[in-house]
Amino acid sequence: MSTLRSTGRLFVPTLMTAAIVAACGGGGGGGDAASQLRQVPDAARPAGDGSSTTMSCVGGDASDHCSGDTVLRTDGGVRLTSSGVFVYGQSTTDGAVANDSTGLDPISTADAAMTEIRVHRAAGNGPVESAAMLLSTIGISWDGTTPRPRIIEAFKRETTGVTELDGTGAILTSRALPAVGDLSYYDYNAGTGIGTQANYANNRYFACPALPCAAGTFETTGVSYVPGDYRNTGNDPDRTTAHRNHSDGDVRAGTTGIPAPDSKGFRNLTLYGYVDANLAAWETKDTTFIDEWTPPSVTTSEQSTRRSGIVAFGKTTANVPASGEGTFRGIAYGWYTTNGASEPIRYRAAVRVVVNFGAARQADVYVENAVAETGGAAVPVAIVARAAFGDAGTNVANYLQGRIDDGGTTQLTQGGLGARFFGSSAAEIAGSFNLKNATTGAATVGGFIARR
């Protein structure tokens, strides 16, 4: 039984200064950045309200980190939750088989989407022992009409079973998987095309009781953890990864036996973390317009689709300083596509954040030297942005936000950036951003995490 739990409001439009250099827009160095920042007004400061902007995970385990389960507001495609900010994008060239959807289009307008990340660490800032992603209303439908059931992905490898939420919101993995042929559970009716979709979601059909797993007979190997050098003298965060093949929506479970481990898609989670801040990059590939679930009135063929997102979350700062300055250094991570239709490139970059905690209440964010995660080739994403945060003593003192719009003078022209301070006295910072050129389709969905 997993104890990963979460419970889980604010936004005033702001003017944000930004220079984004990408695709054919050129490089982006420190001198250029400073020049761009001086040419525009300071970012407007977010106003406080009565909403909670501190982390509160169901169960109160001090080793749990969670992003919050409610979107408080959206601006420029960046969504604010009680203890995080997140962005996401969708594939643009979907196809007829499970693994061929490509492209990336940031979702820049408010919608009902909710993405939540939960992690549990060993005591004393130890390794991540379990991680989960919960995704709902992200534009995926099995029947072409209704949203698919909420994705509850806990990367549980040891047993088969059903992954679900209990009445408190805790993730449970203890319920046994109903037997093949149990038509009271697997109630899909081939004659009518009707059944309980929730009974075909979040089922674990294959187990891996001990590593290494037998080839072809497992869905996941669980989480993998590599400590970061910030634990010594560097700024590189811990890195945790997880992958799972899934069969969500496959109706064969109740009739002809269990589906293949990857019959309907897969999920990936890459998690970077310091002591209190986390940056999660998640990806899910799912099958939509599934033949068995789609009524005759819907003529779209069965195809795959993909969603990718970034969540910055953790133990938000309750005592943000009211004076002084600070420089944070760390990494940025995300996806980039040159035209919206090409396969997104995963990239990693250096990030530097210079913060004025005094009267200005603003931060300058520099994302530089982006390279592909695989192969190390340069990726043309460079960001310079100024964001503002709330007055000391307000509930938005730990929240930075702004809308990016550089008037079309560079390749990636519109989007948003949001960030949070984490830890005692704002020792860490992490944020999410999305940018797009509406003409060329070039786009990025990414985030950053840094410490001082």
Q: Is 31 exposed, middle or buried (0-12, 13-18, 19+ CB in 10 A)?
A: exposed
CA 106, CA 340: separation in Å to the nearest integer? 9
Asked if 88 and 283 touch (Cβ cutoff 8 Å), the reply is no
CA 368, CA 145: separation in Å to the nearest integer? 42
- Residue ranges per domain, the chain? 15-451
- Contacts of residue 145, defined as CB under 8 A and 6 or more positions apart, other chains included, come to 295, 298
Cβ-based neighbour number of residue 50 at 10 Å: 7
CA 69, CA 136: separation in Å to the nearest integer? 10
Asked if 443 and 337 touch (Cβ cutoff 8 Å), the reply is yes
First to last CA, the chain: 37
Kind of pairing between the strands at 399-405 and 15-22? parallel
- Contacts of residue 114, defined as CB under 8 A and 6 or more positions apart, other chains included, come to 69, 70, 71, 134, 135, 136, 137
Longest Cα–Cα distance of the chain, Å, equals: 69
Per-residue model confidence as pLDDT tens for the chain (452 residues): 333 433 332 222 222 333 333 333 333 333 333 333 322 334 567 777 778 899 999 877 889 999 999 998 887 789 999 999 999 999 887 766 555 678 888 887 667 899 999 999 999 899 999 999 999 999 999 999 999 999 999 999 999 999 999 999 999 999 999 988 898 999 999 888 899 999 999 999 999 999 999 887 889 999 999 999 999 989 999 999 999 999 999 998 777 778 888 999 999 999 999 999 999 999 999 999 999 999 988 888 899 999 999 999 999 999 999 999 999 999 999 999 988 888 899 999 999 999 999 999 999 999 999 999 999 999 988 888 889 998 888 888 999 987 665 444 445 667 789 999 999 999 999 999 998 888 888 889 999 999 99
Q: Please report, for residues 172, 201, 288, 450, the alpha-carbon distance to residue 370 in angstroms, rounded to integers and kept in the order given.
A: 39, 37, 33, 16
Asked if 214 and 220 touch (Cβ cutoff 8 Å), the reply is no
